[in-house]
Amino acid sequence: MSTNLSPNSQSDPSTSPLEIRACGITKAFQDRPVLKGIDLNIPQASMTAIVGSSGCGKTVLLDIIAALMDPDAGTVCARDHEQPDQPMVNLHTLDRQGLDRLRRHWALVFQRNALFSGTVYDNIALWLREYAGLSEQQILQLARTSLTRAALDPDAVLYRDRDELSGGMAKRVAIARAISMRPRVIFYDEPTTGLDPVVAGKIHELVFDVHHSTIDGFARTSLVITHDRDLLRRLRPRIVMINAGRVYFDGSYERFESWNDPLALAYLQQMPVLHSRQTPS
Ligand SMILES: Nc1ncnc2c1ncn2[C@@H]1O[C@H](COP(=O)(O)OP(=O)(O)OP(=O)(O)O)[C@@H](O)[C@H]1O
Ligand SMILES: [Mg+2]
């Protein structure tokens, strides 16, 4: 099966091969079940938003999908872009090298940003230096472009220490770091929480633009966890709503928005409140 998607195939991800397949994912903490059997297919070139009330398990699901956490049961398989002709690989059987190979094409924007101590430049440069093998000149150029795209002034922030950034600035640095990696698959965990409406609007455009641009001829796959109704309106992604540990809804944005379901209606009404809460740093 060819995975070299033409820009054309981006218009109908439902016919694309899968990028990720999660089957029967369960997870409990101290016998408190969080995920009770999640099945989720992510086609290549698709844009999927995972929504659901605070604490329902969205970040835990993302951590499991990205192989940062083991599920109690279930499997996650993903496309290895370094071996495009091979079937999808089971993440939890991969060794460190295998995971690194996969992750070379993935980028994550963590809910709490996960910037390490050091400057903004250090944060962006590390991966590009170690894995992409770029020169310092190329890294500097890419860092500046990515920061600008994430609505930051590179001259003002490039050499600032992580601890000198506001919450909203750190969020944008985390986004800049992710896009600088030029990933084929990008995961965002609440990319706009805590941002003011103007900056949030710029991030909506960025998420849209990144998704709709190809990388080395490949269409991108985006997975966004969000409580931001304006982001959903702008992106109009496939919506997967998690409730009580299971997939409660899986369908188009249009269907979700017009769904006359008490839980979905209550959640949509609560969304602006959830979105405006500050993410702890
Ligand atoms: N490492 C952990 N140890 C114990 N409990 C955990 C751990 N990680 C998550 N949990 C619990 O699992 C549940 C789901 O957490 P998760 O962070 O996935 O929620 P969420 O849907 O992302 O919420 P939010 O919208 O607030 O980010 C919560 O009750 C949380 O306390
Ligand atoms: Mg979360």
Residue of the CA atom closest to atom 1 of ligand 1 = 29
Confidence of residue 12 (pLDDT cuts 50, 70, 90): low
Ligand nearest to the CA of 63: 1
Q: Which residue has the higher pLDDT, 187 or 279?
A: 187
Rounded Cα distance, 218 and 238, in Å: 20
Q: Which atom of ligand 1 is least distant from the CA of 60?
A: 18
pTM: 0.91
Determine the topology of domain 7-276 in CATH.
Answer: Rossmann fold (3.40.50)
Which amino acid belongs to residue 235?
L
pLDDT in tens, 222-252: 999 999 999 999 999 999 999 999 999 999 9
Rounded Cα distance, 18 and 79, in Å: 7
Q: Which atom of ligand 1 is least distant from the CA of 227?
A: 25
Write the burial class of residue 278 (CB in 10 Å: 0-12 exposed, 13-18 middle, 19+ buried): exposed
| pLDDT above 60 for 125 | yes
Output the CA 129–ligand 2 centroid distance in Å. 30
Residue of the CA atom closest to atom 20 of ligand 1 = 55
State residue 278's pLDDT score.
Answer: 61
Is residue 52 a contact partner of residue 267, using CB atoms and an 8 Å limit? yes
State residue 7's pLDDT score.
Answer: 35
Residue of the CA atom closest to atom 19 of ligand 1 = 55
| Mean per-residue pLDDT, 93-98 | 91
State residue 281's pLDDT score.
Answer: 43
Q: In testing the pocket of ligand 1, which one of 26, 29, 112 has its CB within 8 Å of the most ligand atoms?
A: 29
The full set of domain ranges for the chain reads: 7-276
- Name the residues around ion ligand 2, CB cutoff 5 A: 59, 111
Q: What angle do CA 162, 163, 168 make, to 5 degrees?
A: 75
